[in-house]
Structure formats: structure tokens, C-alpha cells
Amino acid sequence: MTLRFTIEAKDRGTPARAGVVASERGSFRTPAFMPVGTAATVKGVWPAQLREMGYGCILGNTYHLYLRPGHERVRGLGGLHRFMGWDRLILTDSGGFQVFSMSALRKVSDEAVSFRSHVDGSAHILTPELAVEIQETLGSDLRMALDECVAYPAERREIEEAVRRTTLWAERSLSARRLPDGGMLGIVQGGMFADLRRRSVEEICALPFEGFAIGGVSVGEGKELQRETVERTAPMLPADAPRYLMGVGTPGDLLYAVARGVDLFDCVLPTRNARNGMMFTSAGQVTVKQARYKDDSLPPDERCGCPTCRTFSRAYLRHLHMQGEMLSSMAMTVHNLTFYSRLMERAREAISRGNFGEFMKESLGSGIE
């Protein structure tokens, strides 16, 4: 059995939809945010806490797990789920974004990407076939085809070449599959060029993937171009498969994309920003290092029932952050991830009622960014 996607409700006024992604291991409801667990851990939280927050799928990073501790070692220790103590679904990316972000350390050809490890400088070659092998060896449930991601800005000819190579690698990724379980998602590229996006959609969506992702956004283009690209691209993706917007973003970004029919998201913002002293709340962002929170006895978000908001004040969290205490990052990460999970839950409820547009307008009007 491969990945299954079922649409359970559609909004009346927008393309937003609510559904279920299911595999042999289990299922989770969409639209859904997937916390990023780069090195087989979502920084600052236990797996049990993620389950309590309602998460059904988290993301692992192929590039980092390939380098340390190694995919074969993970398999020898029972696979990625047992290794990290997570019994729900895991999506692994292909490693392509990490490799392509190290422009000074890699060289790209149609055959492969050769790169040097950021850890020790050792030389490696990543092919579409190896990316699939690593993910299957890890035992993830959703796997990504290797693609070529290009940062913004870039010349048209560079984007066009990336579209061509992404299709070539997508075909090779599908041919490299050896295990029948789980599912594989293809990635659409094309930069900010509408015709190249359409070409990539047509080529990638003609292939037998179980889902499709919008790649090559949030790479320096700014919010306006990002949202224009999502608005153009999402409706072109197959309606009967999950649509995944990679690496995006803020709560407002998520709501905007859900309104365009996107189902899945991942981003480091809620965990990274927590480590930097910033929390997302129903009334906007709270950055505790600001002096105005020195004597603030309020919880981070009066409308939130997470353990952090039930226990700590903004003043105390500011104190922890200024002292460099690890509890600061842990507590604020719990809050941010709870906020994201609850936002997606409320989005699903609004879609089921048919009033997602009203929910989105109300949420953005209250201060959510």
C-alpha cells in the first residue's frame, strides 16, 4: 500500500480543502504543519510532547542523517522511527536544498551533485538514486525526489536548466524505488517565471508520484513574489494528491497558502525563532528580549492553553532568555509548535464549516502575521 490522500471537506469561498494523508504506519489530517527534525530530533521537545500537541508527521533531513550518523547505522538500530522514538509518520527531504545552499562546496551535473561535507570537508556524490536509497534505508513514510533548487535572484537560463534537470532527476528517482511502502513526492521548480512554473508542473505532474511539492520559494524573493508564485502554482497541481509547500513559513503565510489549496507545510521558524526569544501568538509576535517585558506578568498568549502559557509569564521567559537558560528555548518552542498545531486544527474546522475565508480574515485581523 502506498500513500493515500482523501479529501473530506472543501471550503465554500476558497480552494481550501481538508483531508487525510494515510500510509501503512498511520494517518494525519490536512492542512498540516510538519515540525522540522533536521538531525532526527525536533529541537527542544520530546516526541511525546509533539504527540500531545497533535502532530502526526514530522520532517527529517536526508543530507544531515546521511553524514551523521549515517543511514546504514540508523537502519542497524531499527530504522529512523525507533532511533528517534517517534511512532507516527516521517517525511524526509531529498537533501537537495542543503546541498544547493552550499554553493561554494558543490558542483552540479546531470549525473549528480558532488559536494564537500560541511562537517569535515570530505567529498561526496549525491545522485537521485542515492537520495532514494538513503530515504528508504532510513524507513521514512513520505520521500522526496531530488531536485535542483536555485536561489533568488537568478537568470532565466539558470532557472530553465534547473527545471530540465529537476524533471530528469524526478524520472530517475521514481525508477530507483525499491520499496512499495510509503509514498514519493515530486517537486515543481521554475523560480518566479510563470511559464517555467507551468512547464515544470506539466512535466512533474505527468509522472506517477503520490504527491507534489512547490519548491524554490522562500529563497530570497520576498513575501509578495512568494505568494504570487504559490497562487499561480497551487491550482495547477493535481486535485487528488497532497500539495506540499516547502520551507514556508509564518502563520500568515500558511493561512494564505491554505486558502489557495495547499495541504502540507514545513518550516524551521517556530523552533528557530523560539531559540531566539520570539513567540507567535494570537495577537502577534512577542519578542521577550525587548525591555517592555521585564515586568510583564501575563502569559505569552492569554488565548493559549499550552504548558508554557499555563505556567510561565513573559517576564520569566525573558529572564530565562537573557540568562541563556535552556528552559527558555524549550518552553518557547513548546508554545510556538502548539500555536502552529492549533492554527492548523482551527483551519481544518473552518474548512469543514465552509467559512475558512472568514476565519482567515479574523485571524489576520487579530494580529497573526
Task: Convert the pLDDT of each residue in 166-183 to its tens digit.
Answer: 999 999 999 999 998 889
> Which residues make Cβ contacts (< 8 Å) with residue 69, sequence separation at least 6?
none
DSSP string, 185-243: EEEE--TT-HHHHHHHHHHHHTS--SEEEE-S-SSSS-HHHHHHHHHHHGGGS-TTS-E
Q: Residue for cell digits 522511527?
A: 81
Instruction: With beta carbons less than 8 A apart as the criterion, state whether 336 and 53 touch.
Output: no
How many Å apart are CA 331 and CA 311, to the nearest integer?
Answer: 10
For cell 544531515, name the residue: 64
| Mean pLDDT of the 347-361 span | 98
To which H or E segment does residue 257 belong? Answer: helix 251-258
Using a pLDDT cut of 90, give the percent of the chain over it. Answer: 93
Judge whether residue 141 has pLDDT over 60. Answer: yes
pLDDT at residue 100 greater than cutoff 90: no
Check: CB of residue 185 under 8 Å from CB of residue 142.
yes
The tally of CA atoms less than 13 A away on the side-chain side of residue 103 is 3
Condensed to tens digits (0 to 9), the pLDDT of residues 259-277 reads 999 999 999 999 999 999 9
Q: Which residues belong to the active site?
A: 93, 266
Please give the average per-residue pLDDT across 316-326, as a whole number. 98
C-alpha cell at 135: 530515504
pLDDT digits (tens, 9 = 90+) for 225-247: 999 999 999 999 999 999 999 99
Confidence of residue 118 (pLDDT cuts 50, 70, 90): confident
CA distances (Å), 4 to each of 21, 22, 24, in order? 6, 5, 9
DSSP state at residue 2: B
Burial class (CB in 10 A: 0-12, 13-18, 19+), 123: exposed
Sheet holding 106-108, edge to edge: 106-108, 113-116, 123-126
pLDDT band at 1 (very low <50, low <70, confident <90, very high): low
Domains within the chain, CATH numbers bracketed: 23-267 (3.20.20.105), 268-369 (no CATH)
Q: Give the pLDDT of residue 16.
A: 98
| CB atoms closer than 10 angstroms to residue 4 | 15
Are β-strands 27-30 and 17-22 bridged in parallel, bridged antiparallel, or unpaired? antiparallel
- Look at residue 137 and give its three-state secondary structure: helix
Structure confidence by residue, pLDDT tens digits, 142-156: 999 999 999 999 999
